[in-house]
Amino acid sequence: MSDVIIAISLLWGFIFIYAVMATMDFGAGFWSMVYINKEKTNATNIANRYLSPTWEVTNVFIVAIVVAVISFFPGATFTLGTVLLLPGSVILLLLAVRSGFLVFSHIAEEYRKPLTYISGITGFLIPGLLIIILPVTHGNFIEVRDGVEQLLVGELLTSFHAWTFFGFAVSSTLFLSSLLLADFSNHADEQEAYHIYRRDALILGPITLTMALLVMVTMRYEAVWLYEGMMEHLPFLLASAGAFFLAGFFLLMPTGQGKRGWPRLAVIVIVLQYLLASYAYGRAHLPYLIYPSITIEDGFTNPEAFRALFITYIVGFAILFPGFIYFWRLFMKDKRYAKQQKSNYDKK
Protein backbone atom coordinates (compact mmCIF):
# COMPACT_ATOMS: atom_id res chain seq x y z
CA MET A 1 0.00 0.00 0.00
CA SER A 2 1.26 3.45 -0.77
CA ASP A 3 1.57 6.06 1.98
CA VAL A 4 -1.33 8.09 0.69
CA ILE A 5 -3.64 5.07 0.74
CA ILE A 6 -2.60 4.31 4.32
CA ALA A 7 -3.35 7.92 5.25
CA ILE A 8 -6.76 8.04 3.61
CA SER A 9 -7.64 4.65 5.12
CA LEU A 10 -6.74 5.88 8.60
CA LEU A 11 -8.83 8.98 8.04
CA TRP A 12 -11.70 6.87 6.76
CA GLY A 13 -11.36 4.63 9.81
CA PHE A 14 -11.57 7.61 12.16
CA ILE A 15 -14.59 8.97 10.36
CA PHE A 16 -16.29 5.59 10.53
CA ILE A 17 -15.59 5.14 14.24
CA TYR A 18 -16.76 8.67 14.95
CA ALA A 19 -19.86 8.22 12.79
CA VAL A 20 -20.91 5.17 14.79
CA MET A 21 -19.97 6.59 18.19
CA ALA A 22 -21.50 9.99 17.45
CA THR A 23 -24.80 8.62 16.21
CA MET A 24 -25.03 6.62 19.41
CA ASP A 25 -24.01 9.60 21.48
CA PHE A 26 -26.37 12.15 19.92
CA GLY A 27 -29.11 9.55 19.63
CA ALA A 28 -28.83 8.61 23.30
CA GLY A 29 -29.20 12.31 24.14
CA PHE A 30 -32.32 12.44 22.01
CA TRP A 31 -33.90 9.35 23.61
CA SER A 32 -33.15 10.55 27.10
CA MET A 33 -35.20 13.62 26.15
CA VAL A 34 -38.06 11.70 24.52
CA TYR A 35 -38.58 9.36 27.48
CA ILE A 36 -37.94 11.89 30.20
CA ASN A 37 -41.58 11.81 31.33
CA LYS A 38 -41.87 8.02 31.38
CA GLU A 39 -40.33 7.68 34.78
CA LYS A 40 -41.28 4.07 35.35
CA THR A 41 -39.54 2.56 32.37
CA ASN A 42 -36.00 3.66 33.12
CA ALA A 43 -35.47 4.34 29.41
CA THR A 44 -34.08 7.79 30.15
CA ASN A 45 -31.79 6.47 32.86
CA ILE A 46 -30.42 3.83 30.54
CA ALA A 47 -29.67 6.45 27.91
CA ASN A 48 -27.95 8.68 30.48
CA ARG A 49 -25.92 5.84 31.90
CA TYR A 50 -24.58 5.15 28.43
CA LEU A 51 -24.05 8.81 27.60
CA SER A 52 -22.45 10.23 30.74
CA PRO A 53 -19.07 8.52 30.62
CA THR A 54 -18.79 8.34 26.82
CA TRP A 55 -19.54 11.78 25.44
CA GLU A 56 -16.12 13.22 26.22
CA VAL A 57 -14.36 10.31 24.56
CA THR A 58 -16.63 10.59 21.53
CA ASN A 59 -15.92 14.29 21.30
CA VAL A 60 -12.18 13.61 21.07
CA PHE A 61 -12.77 11.74 17.83
CA ILE A 62 -14.15 14.79 16.06
CA VAL A 63 -10.96 16.68 16.90
CA ALA A 64 -8.95 13.63 15.84
CA ILE A 65 -10.64 13.73 12.42
CA VAL A 66 -9.94 17.42 11.91
CA VAL A 67 -6.31 16.90 12.93
CA ALA A 68 -5.99 13.88 10.63
CA VAL A 69 -7.30 15.87 7.67
CA ILE A 70 -4.95 18.78 8.34
CA SER A 71 -1.90 16.67 9.07
CA PHE A 72 -2.27 14.13 6.29
CA PHE A 73 -3.79 16.38 3.64
CA PRO A 74 -2.59 19.93 4.29
CA GLY A 75 -3.11 20.65 0.58
CA ALA A 76 -6.85 20.27 1.06
CA THR A 77 -6.93 22.38 4.21
CA PHE A 78 -7.25 25.69 2.43
CA THR A 79 -10.22 24.72 0.29
CA LEU A 80 -11.98 22.75 3.02
CA GLY A 81 -11.45 25.47 5.60
CA THR A 82 -12.78 28.18 3.30
CA VAL A 83 -15.74 26.26 2.01
CA LEU A 84 -16.80 24.82 5.34
CA LEU A 85 -16.60 28.06 7.33
CA LEU A 86 -20.36 28.47 7.47
CA PRO A 87 -21.57 24.87 7.98
CA GLY A 88 -18.58 24.17 10.23
CA SER A 89 -19.36 27.16 12.42
CA VAL A 90 -23.01 26.18 12.76
CA ILE A 91 -21.93 22.68 13.81
CA LEU A 92 -19.49 24.11 16.35
CA LEU A 93 -22.13 26.38 17.84
CA LEU A 94 -24.62 23.53 18.18
CA LEU A 95 -21.92 21.27 19.61
CA ALA A 96 -20.97 23.86 22.22
CA VAL A 97 -24.56 24.33 23.34
CA ARG A 98 -25.22 20.62 23.29
CA SER A 99 -22.19 19.53 25.33
CA GLY A 100 -22.53 22.37 27.79
CA PHE A 101 -26.21 21.79 28.50
CA LEU A 102 -25.74 18.02 28.62
CA VAL A 103 -23.38 18.47 31.55
CA PHE A 104 -25.55 21.18 33.12
CA SER A 105 -28.62 18.92 32.95
CA HIS A 106 -26.86 16.34 35.10
CA ILE A 107 -25.84 18.87 37.71
CA ALA A 108 -28.86 21.15 38.04
CA GLU A 109 -31.47 18.62 39.10
CA GLU A 110 -34.46 20.96 39.23
CA TYR A 111 -33.89 22.30 35.73
CA ARG A 112 -33.17 18.90 34.27
CA LYS A 113 -36.08 18.89 31.83
CA PRO A 114 -35.51 22.19 29.99
CA LEU A 115 -31.75 21.58 29.95
CA THR A 116 -32.23 18.08 28.55
CA TYR A 117 -34.54 19.46 25.86
CA ILE A 118 -31.93 21.99 24.76
CA SER A 119 -29.14 19.43 24.58
CA GLY A 120 -31.38 16.76 23.05
CA ILE A 121 -32.65 18.92 20.20
CA THR A 122 -29.33 20.61 19.35
CA GLY A 123 -27.61 17.22 19.53
CA PHE A 124 -29.95 15.51 17.15
CA LEU A 125 -29.40 18.18 14.48
CA ILE A 126 -25.60 17.84 14.57
CA PRO A 127 -25.26 14.52 12.67
CA GLY A 128 -27.47 15.89 9.91
CA LEU A 129 -25.23 18.92 9.52
CA LEU A 130 -22.02 16.93 9.81
CA ILE A 131 -23.01 14.65 6.98
CA ILE A 132 -23.75 17.65 4.72
CA ILE A 133 -19.96 17.89 4.36
CA LEU A 134 -20.14 14.78 2.17
CA PRO A 135 -22.35 16.23 -0.60
CA VAL A 136 -20.18 19.37 -0.46
CA THR A 137 -17.20 17.21 -1.45
CA HIS A 138 -19.24 15.80 -4.36
CA GLY A 139 -18.51 18.98 -6.22
CA ASN A 140 -21.68 20.85 -7.19
CA PHE A 141 -21.67 23.43 -4.45
CA ILE A 142 -18.27 25.12 -4.77
CA GLU A 143 -17.63 28.06 -7.04
CA VAL A 144 -14.51 30.15 -7.49
CA ARG A 145 -15.30 33.84 -7.14
CA ASP A 146 -12.53 36.48 -7.27
CA GLY A 147 -9.99 33.70 -6.98
CA VAL A 148 -11.57 32.44 -3.76
CA GLU A 149 -13.56 29.25 -3.43
CA GLN A 150 -17.02 29.92 -2.04
CA LEU A 151 -19.74 27.59 -0.86
CA LEU A 152 -23.01 28.00 -2.78
CA VAL A 153 -25.21 27.91 0.29
CA GLY A 154 -28.45 28.53 -1.58
CA GLU A 155 -27.89 25.66 -3.96
CA LEU A 156 -26.85 23.38 -1.14
CA LEU A 157 -30.03 24.15 0.76
CA THR A 158 -32.21 23.44 -2.26
CA SER A 159 -30.46 20.23 -3.28
CA PHE A 160 -32.45 17.01 -2.87
CA HIS A 161 -29.19 15.12 -2.67
CA ALA A 162 -28.04 17.14 0.34
CA TRP A 163 -31.40 16.75 2.06
CA THR A 164 -31.46 12.99 1.58
CA PHE A 165 -28.06 12.88 3.28
CA PHE A 166 -29.48 14.96 6.11
CA GLY A 167 -32.44 12.63 6.46
CA PHE A 168 -30.21 9.58 6.30
CA ALA A 169 -27.97 10.91 9.07
CA VAL A 170 -30.85 11.80 11.37
CA SER A 171 -32.67 8.49 10.88
CA SER A 172 -29.40 6.56 11.25
CA THR A 173 -28.69 8.40 14.48
CA LEU A 174 -32.02 7.39 15.94
CA PHE A 175 -31.84 3.86 14.54
CA LEU A 176 -28.32 3.00 15.66
CA SER A 177 -28.76 4.53 19.08
CA SER A 178 -32.07 2.81 19.77
CA LEU A 179 -30.51 -0.49 18.75
CA LEU A 180 -27.49 0.04 20.98
CA LEU A 181 -29.64 1.13 23.90
CA ALA A 182 -31.82 -1.94 23.37
CA ASP A 183 -28.70 -4.03 23.80
CA PHE A 184 -27.53 -1.96 26.75
CA SER A 185 -30.89 -2.28 28.55
CA ASN A 186 -31.03 -5.99 27.82
CA HIS A 187 -27.56 -6.28 29.35
CA ALA A 188 -28.81 -4.39 32.41
CA ASP A 189 -31.91 -6.65 32.66
CA GLU A 190 -34.21 -3.67 32.17
CA GLN A 191 -36.93 -5.46 30.24
CA GLU A 192 -39.27 -2.51 29.86
CA ALA A 193 -36.58 -0.22 28.50
CA TYR A 194 -35.41 -3.05 26.25
CA HIS A 195 -38.93 -3.43 24.93
CA ILE A 196 -39.19 0.28 24.10
CA TYR A 197 -35.81 0.59 22.39
CA ARG A 198 -36.27 -2.63 20.45
CA ARG A 199 -39.60 -1.33 19.17
CA ASP A 200 -37.98 1.99 18.16
CA ALA A 201 -35.20 0.18 16.33
CA LEU A 202 -37.71 -1.96 14.46
CA ILE A 203 -39.61 1.14 13.33
CA LEU A 204 -36.52 3.18 12.42
CA GLY A 205 -34.63 0.43 10.59
CA PRO A 206 -36.85 0.42 7.48
CA ILE A 207 -36.99 4.23 7.49
CA THR A 208 -33.19 4.39 7.51
CA LEU A 209 -32.91 1.87 4.69
CA THR A 210 -35.39 3.93 2.64
CA MET A 211 -33.33 7.05 3.27
CA ALA A 212 -30.19 5.20 2.12
CA LEU A 213 -31.97 4.24 -1.10
CA LEU A 214 -33.03 7.85 -1.60
CA VAL A 215 -29.42 8.94 -1.20
CA MET A 216 -28.49 6.58 -4.02
CA VAL A 217 -31.37 7.73 -6.23
CA THR A 218 -30.53 11.43 -5.87
CA MET A 219 -26.83 10.67 -6.29
CA ARG A 220 -27.62 9.29 -9.70
CA TYR A 221 -28.80 12.74 -10.73
CA GLU A 222 -26.51 15.02 -8.78
CA ALA A 223 -23.20 13.15 -8.60
CA VAL A 224 -23.08 10.70 -11.47
CA TRP A 225 -19.35 10.04 -11.13
CA LEU A 226 -19.84 8.83 -7.58
CA TYR A 227 -22.96 6.84 -8.40
CA GLU A 228 -21.12 4.96 -11.12
CA GLY A 229 -18.20 4.33 -8.79
CA MET A 230 -20.51 2.92 -6.17
CA MET A 231 -22.25 0.68 -8.67
CA GLU A 232 -18.86 -0.85 -9.42
CA HIS A 233 -18.88 -1.99 -5.81
CA LEU A 234 -22.43 -3.29 -5.97
CA PRO A 235 -21.55 -6.56 -4.17
CA PHE A 236 -20.60 -4.53 -1.08
CA LEU A 237 -23.88 -2.64 -1.21
CA LEU A 238 -25.85 -5.85 -1.58
CA ALA A 239 -23.97 -7.46 1.29
CA SER A 240 -24.71 -4.36 3.34
CA ALA A 241 -28.42 -4.67 2.63
CA GLY A 242 -28.16 -8.36 3.49
CA ALA A 243 -26.63 -7.49 6.85
CA PHE A 244 -29.54 -5.16 7.50
CA PHE A 245 -32.09 -7.93 7.02
CA LEU A 246 -30.01 -10.30 9.10
CA ALA A 247 -30.10 -7.78 11.93
CA GLY A 248 -33.87 -7.58 11.59
CA PHE A 249 -34.00 -11.34 11.89
CA PHE A 250 -31.85 -11.27 15.05
CA LEU A 251 -34.15 -8.70 16.62
CA LEU A 252 -37.34 -10.61 15.85
CA MET A 253 -36.14 -14.12 16.62
CA PRO A 254 -37.66 -15.69 19.77
CA THR A 255 -35.02 -16.71 22.29
CA GLY A 256 -37.16 -18.72 24.71
CA GLN A 257 -38.76 -17.81 28.04
CA GLY A 258 -41.12 -15.49 26.21
CA LYS A 259 -38.25 -13.19 25.22
CA ARG A 260 -37.57 -11.96 21.75
CA GLY A 261 -34.45 -10.85 20.01
CA TRP A 262 -30.73 -11.14 20.30
CA PRO A 263 -29.73 -7.47 20.40
CA ARG A 264 -25.97 -7.96 20.78
CA LEU A 265 -25.82 -9.84 17.48
CA ALA A 266 -28.08 -7.28 15.82
CA VAL A 267 -25.73 -4.45 16.88
CA ILE A 268 -22.68 -6.25 15.50
CA VAL A 269 -24.37 -7.02 12.19
CA ILE A 270 -25.64 -3.46 11.81
CA VAL A 271 -22.18 -2.04 12.39
CA LEU A 272 -21.02 -4.45 9.69
CA GLN A 273 -23.78 -3.12 7.43
CA TYR A 274 -22.54 0.45 7.80
CA LEU A 275 -18.94 -0.67 7.41
CA LEU A 276 -19.66 -2.35 4.08
CA ALA A 277 -21.71 0.53 2.72
CA SER A 278 -19.24 3.20 3.76
CA TYR A 279 -16.38 1.16 2.32
CA ALA A 280 -18.17 1.17 -1.04
CA TYR A 281 -18.80 4.90 -0.72
CA GLY A 282 -15.20 5.61 0.25
CA ARG A 283 -13.74 3.50 -2.56
CA ALA A 284 -15.98 5.19 -5.12
CA HIS A 285 -14.99 8.62 -3.78
CA LEU A 286 -11.29 7.96 -4.47
CA PRO A 287 -9.11 9.53 -5.65
CA TYR A 288 -11.02 12.72 -4.93
CA LEU A 289 -11.07 14.48 -1.61
CA ILE A 290 -13.12 17.23 -3.22
CA TYR A 291 -14.47 16.54 -6.67
CA PRO A 292 -13.12 17.52 -9.15
CA SER A 293 -10.40 19.86 -7.90
CA ILE A 294 -8.47 18.04 -5.17
CA THR A 295 -7.30 14.44 -5.20
CA ILE A 296 -5.66 12.67 -2.30
CA GLU A 297 -2.34 12.90 -4.14
CA ASP A 298 -2.57 16.70 -4.50
CA GLY A 299 -3.37 17.24 -0.90
CA PHE A 300 -0.92 14.77 0.62
CA THR A 301 1.76 15.87 3.06
CA ASN A 302 5.51 15.40 2.64
CA PRO A 303 7.05 11.96 3.27
CA GLU A 304 9.02 13.07 6.37
CA ALA A 305 5.95 14.41 8.09
CA PHE A 306 3.95 11.33 7.15
CA ARG A 307 6.56 8.99 8.58
CA ALA A 308 6.73 10.91 11.86
CA LEU A 309 2.95 10.98 12.12
CA PHE A 310 2.62 7.32 11.33
CA ILE A 311 5.03 6.43 14.14
CA THR A 312 3.06 8.52 16.63
CA TYR A 313 -0.14 6.79 15.51
CA ILE A 314 1.32 3.38 16.26
CA VAL A 315 2.90 4.40 19.56
CA GLY A 316 -0.11 6.48 20.61
CA PHE A 317 -2.70 3.83 20.03
CA ALA A 318 -0.52 1.11 21.52
CA ILE A 319 -0.44 3.17 24.72
CA LEU A 320 -4.13 4.05 24.56
CA PHE A 321 -5.40 0.59 23.79
CA PRO A 322 -5.31 -0.74 27.39
CA GLY A 323 -7.08 2.46 28.45
CA PHE A 324 -9.89 1.81 26.00
CA ILE A 325 -10.17 -1.80 27.17
CA TYR A 326 -10.32 -0.73 30.81
CA PHE A 327 -12.94 1.88 29.97
CA TRP A 328 -15.00 -0.67 28.07
CA ARG A 329 -14.89 -3.15 30.94
CA LEU A 330 -15.91 -0.55 33.51
CA PHE A 331 -18.82 0.95 31.63
CA MET A 332 -20.04 -1.45 28.96
CA LYS A 333 -19.38 -4.85 30.48
CA ASP A 334 -19.73 -4.28 34.20
CA LYS A 335 -23.35 -5.02 35.08
CA ARG A 336 -22.94 -3.15 38.35
CA TYR A 337 -22.61 0.05 36.35
CA ALA A 338 -25.39 -0.66 33.87
CA LYS A 339 -27.77 -1.54 36.70
CA GLN A 340 -27.11 1.47 38.90
CA GLN A 341 -30.31 3.31 39.59
CA LYS A 342 -28.73 6.71 39.30
CA SER A 343 -25.53 8.07 37.90
CA ASN A 344 -22.81 9.36 40.18
CA TYR A 345 -23.61 12.96 39.39
CA ASP A 346 -26.94 12.59 41.13
CA LYS A 347 -25.51 11.04 44.26
CA LYS A 348 -23.90 13.22 46.77
Partner 1 sequence: MDHLEIARSMFGTTMAFHIIFATLGVGIPLMVLFAELLYQKTNDRDYAVMANRWTKGFAVLLGVAIPSGTIAGVQLSLLWPGFMEVIGEVMALPFQIEIYAFFVEALFMSIYVYAADRISPWMRIVSLTLVALGAVASAILITNVHAFEGTPAGFRFENGEIVDVDPWAAFFNPGFFTTAGHVVVSAYMTGGFVIASIAAFKMIKDREKGRVFRFHKKALMLGLAVGGIFSLLTAFNGHQSAQLLHEYQPEKLAAAEGLFETQDYAPLAIGGFTDRETEEVKWAIEIPWALSFLADDRFDTVVRGLNDFPEEWWPPLYVHTLFNAMVGIGTLLILLSITGFFWNRFLKKKRFPKPMMWAFVASGPLSVLAIEFGWIFACTGRQPWVIYRMMKTEDAVTGASQLGTLFVLFTLVYFVLGAAVVLVLRYYFRKHPVHEAIDIKE
Please identify, using beta-carbon distances, which residue of 103 and 239 lies nearer to partner 1.
Answer: 103
Question: Could you tell me the smallest distance in angstroms from the CB atom of residue 21 to partner 1?
Answer: 12
Instruction: Name which of 18, 29, 176 is nearest 101 in CA terms.
Output: 29
Please identify, using beta-carbon distances, which residue of 73 and 274 lies nearer to partner 1.
Answer: 73
Q: How far is CA 215 from CA 15, 41, 236, 256, in A?
A: 19, 36, 16, 39
Please identify, using beta-carbon distances, which residue of 279 and 313 lies nearer to partner 1.
Answer: 313
Instruction: Name which of 156, 128, 151, 138 is nearest 26 in CA terms.
Output: 128
Please identify, using beta-carbon distances, which residue of 96 and 231 lies nearer to partner 1.
Answer: 96
Question: Could you tell me the smallest distance in angstroms from the CB atom of residue 89 to partner 1?
Answer: 5
C-alpha of 178 from chain center = 13
Please identify, using beta-carbon distances, which residue of 160 and 324 lies nearer to partner 1.
Answer: 324
Question: Could you tell me the smallest distance in angstroms from the CB atom of residue 188 to partner 1?
Answer: 15
Please identify, using beta-carbon distances, which residue of 249 and 310 lies nearer to partner 1.
Answer: 310
The Cβ-side half-sphere exposure at 232, using a 13 Å CA radius, reads 12
Q: How far is residue 219's CA from residue 170's CA, in Å, rounded to a whole number?
A: 18
Q: How far is residue 87's CA from residue 66's CA, in Å, rounded to a whole number?
A: 14
Question: Could you tell me the smallest distance in angstroms from the CB atom of residue 261 to partner 1?
Answer: 28
Q: How far is residue 344's CA from residue 329's CA, in Å, rounded to a whole number?
A: 17
Please identify, using beta-carbon distances, which residue of 47 and 266 lies nearer to partner 1.
Answer: 47
Q: How far is residue 134's CA from residue 162's CA, in Å, rounded to a whole number?
A: 8
Question: Could you tell me the smallest distance in angstroms from the CB atom of residue 345 to partner 1?
Answer: 8
Question: Could you tell me the smallest distance in angstroms from the CB atom of residue 290 to partner 1?
Answer: 13
Question: Could you tell me the smallest distance in angstroms from the CB atom of residue 304 to partner 1?
Answer: 5
Please identify, using beta-carbon distances, which residue of 40 and 145 lies nearer to partner 1.
Answer: 145
Question: Could you tell me the smallest distance in angstroms from the CB atom of residue 154 to partner 1?
Answer: 13
